[in-house]
Amino acid sequence: MNIMANKEDQYTQTAEAVLTAVGGTDNISSVTHCMTRLRFNLKDESIPKDDKVQNIKGVIGVNRAGGQYQVIIGQTVAKVYDALTAVSGLKRNAPIDENLDANLSKEKQPFTWKGLGTTILNKLAGCLTPLIPILIAASMFKMFAAIFGPTMLNWLSTSSDTYRLFVLVGDAGFYFFPIFLGYTASKQFHTSTMVSMFLGAILLDPNLVNIVKAGKAFSVYGIPMTLVDYSSGVIPIIVAVWIMSYVEKFFKKYTPDALSTIFVPTLTIIVMLPLTLTIIGPAGTFLGRYISDGILAFGKMGGIWSILGVAIIGALWEILVMTGMHLIMISTMMMIFAQSGHENFVDLGAIAASFAVAGMCLGASLRIKDKDEKALGFSYLIASLIGGVTEPGLYGIAVRYKKPFIGMMIGGFLGGLYAGATHVTAYVLVPVANFLALTGYVGGSTANFVNGVISGVIAFTGAAVATYMIGVSSKEQQDVENADADFKLVEA
């Protein structure tokens, strides 16, 4: 009961501080809220000082748009709103759809490349952030399998039902990512949610998966289709839903209302099939092939170029993972292992990158002030370092907050650089990305193993220090320009 009372007191304190900061009840025409924000219509918008409002405990940020003064609270906004109306006596209004933000301001901003990059990252974060609970739950089950399975404690055999259950639940969270992203992307691009999810499901249909596995030629309306595995993919479905939003809008505009229910979704999918399966999806593969071949060329050149190549892989690996481009490099790595029994290029950078994700999670967690977000950061650290699952940290911190991405890349670069400079060789292809990945360096000399471990420590420490120094301030955590990306995941 005391805990509940303390929380209610905290909501009231936040509400009272915000009320005072915006000029009190005399300056408020009306107030409502959406999913994450208090939305004030003020008589005099010059009264509230943004820097002071942002420093109020419980406030994430502020935004001014469409004649509204918006105070970003997070998922506890409804409770703060209740406290606000209780202490002020203001009239309660029904919550509004946060997606209306897109229509609040009609003034177009001038185009800038920086603005374009920010918009892309914001949309990407908006698509990925709501899925973090799935990533966390799936990662925990994968971690259970890693800890209790043969690779660590060996309490569960690979044939036991419990181990198989852990594996299938963990894999499901990542395999069906295109469907989950179809949902969140539809919210970002304001298009049909069900059709977007249907498009994601098409990419995972067993028949399409079997076509890809068979490796035989297939065409879409006579157009040759590049065989691509879309499971766990991120970029293809997001880009597809973005383009679909314009296609669907076109058909809605020109289809009679009486026929729209039948023809709009059908015609939309008819158009999106060739666009998605022959252009959008394969584009990542083509780009990945060029990028991967370019990086692999460093390894063939030897000397300083080979060392630099390992460092570049360490810096860019997680970006390649997000786009699915890493599969080409993994194929090359496996082929080299099969032929020679060891590999001293791709695996080194990939291992360094995995440790860099964990280090980034630590550095970000130490800088984040919000207790809930800090706890999430440490859970991402455990998932990465113990469970070998980097996606929660990658999407929950790097993509979401942007600046930690730089820290992660610095750590991966430094770890890869050391591994390449000391000519470390991987003798075992370890199928996990946790701390056990370092056992892949066992099989050669003692110095090889020691240098391999040092490269992982450098990647981890470098990413942690770089991320901490770059910083993750409360304002950066929830950039107020991200209308749909400010999402508090865990309620205190």
Q: Are both 315 and 270 inside the same structural domain?
A: no
The radius of gyration of the chain's CA atoms, rounded to the nearest angstrom, is 25
Comparing 7 with 226, which gets the higher pLDDT?
226
pLDDT at 288: 63
> What does the pLDDT average to over 353-363?
96
CA–centroid distance for 382 within its chain: 17
Q: Model confidence over 434-455: pLDDT tens digits? A: 888 898 898 889 999 999 999 9
Q: Are both 309 and 273 inside the same structural domain?
A: no
> What does the pLDDT average to over 213-227?
92
Q: Are both 311 and 441 inside the same structural domain?
A: yes
Q: Which domain holds residue 85?
A: 2-98
Q: Are both 240 and 351 inside the same structural domain?
A: no
Residue 113: inside a domain: no
Q: Answer with the one of 57, 81, 98 that is the final residue of a domain.
A: 98
Q: Are both 176 and 282 inside the same structural domain?
A: yes
Residue 107: inside a domain: no
Q: Are both 42 and 160 inside the same structural domain?
A: no
Sign of CA dihedral 187, 189, 193, 198: negative
Q: Answer with the one of 264, 288, 312 that is the final residue of a domain.
A: 288
One-letter amino acid identity for 138?
A
- Vertex 223 angle, CA 219 and 225, to 5°: 50
> What does the pLDDT average to over 336-353?
86
Q: Rounded to whole angstroms, how far apart are CA atoms 29 and 453?
A: 62
Tokens 């809220």, located at residue: 33
How many other CB atoms are found less than 10 A from the CB of residue 62? Answer: 24
Of the candidates 34, 235, 264, 414, the residue annotated as catalytic is 34
Comparing 465 with 324, which gets the higher pLDDT?
465
pLDDT at 475: 44
Question: Counting beta carbons within 10 angstroms of the beta carbon of residue 297, is it exposed (0 to 12), middle (13 to 18) or buried (19 or more)?
Answer: exposed
110 and 45 in contact (C-beta within 8 Å)?
no
Burial call 97-109: b when 16+ CB within 10 Å, e when fewer: ebeebeeeeeeee
Please check the confidence at residue 395 and state whether its pLDDT lies above 60. yes
Paired strand residues for 64: 69
Proportion of the chain above pLDDT 90, given as a percent = 43
Please check the confidence at residue 2 and state whether its pLDDT lies above 70. no
Please check the confidence at residue 430 and state whether its pLDDT lies above 60. yes
Burial call 222-253: b when 16+ CB within 10 Å, e when fewer: eeebebbbbebbbbbbbbbbbbbbebbeebbe
Please, what is the average pLDDT of the chain? 84
Residue 122: inside a domain: no
Residue 112: inside a domain: no
Q: Rounded to whole angstroms, how far apart are CA atoms 336 and 141?
A: 31
Residues in the chain: 492
pLDDT at 375: 87
Residue 33: inside a domain: yes
pLDDT at 486: 40
Q: Are both 336 and 456 inside the same structural domain?
A: yes
One-letter amino acid identity for 317?
W
pTM of whole model > 0.85?
no
Q: Are both 258 and 365 inside the same structural domain?
A: no
Q: Are both 76 and 190 inside the same structural domain?
A: no
Identify which of 194, 280, 201, 282 has the alpha carbon closest to the alpha carbon of residue 243: 280
Identify which of 422, 414, 416, 388 has the alpha carbon closest to the alpha carbon of residue 467: 414
Residue 295: inside a domain: no
Lowest-confidence pick of 111-120, 316-325, 356-365: 111-120
Residue 426: inside a domain: yes
Lowest-confidence pick of 15-19, 106-110, 133-137, 336-340: 106-110
Please give the helix or strand (H or E) that residue 70 lies within, else none.
strand 68-72
**Confidence band for 285, pLDDT divided at 50, 70 and 90:** low
pLDDT at 357: 96
Q: Are both 201 and 318 inside the same structural domain?
A: no
Q: Are both 464 and 346 inside the same structural domain?
A: yes
425 contacts: CB under 8 Å, gap ≥ 6: 342, 343, 344, 441, 444, 448
Q: Rounded to whole angstroms, how far apart are CA atoms 198 and 214?
A: 24
Q: Are both 76 and 147 inside the same structural domain?
A: no
pLDDT at 289: 67
Q: Rounded to whole angstroms, how far apart are CA atoms 31 and 81?
A: 9
Residue 204: inside a domain: yes
CATH number of the domain residue 82 falls in: 3.30.1360.60
pLDDT at 5: 53
Q: Show the tokens assigned to 149.
A: 């399975």
348 and 426 in contact (C-beta within 8 Å)?
yes
Question: Count of domains in the chain?
Answer: 3
**Confidence band for 480, pLDDT divided at 50, 70 and 90:** very low
**Confidence band for 103, pLDDT divided at 50, 70 and 90:** very low
Please check the confidence at residue 268 and state whether its pLDDT lies above 90. yes
Q: Could you confirm whether 34 is annotated as catalytic?
A: yes
Q: Answer with the one of 239, 266, 288 that is the final residue of a domain.
A: 288
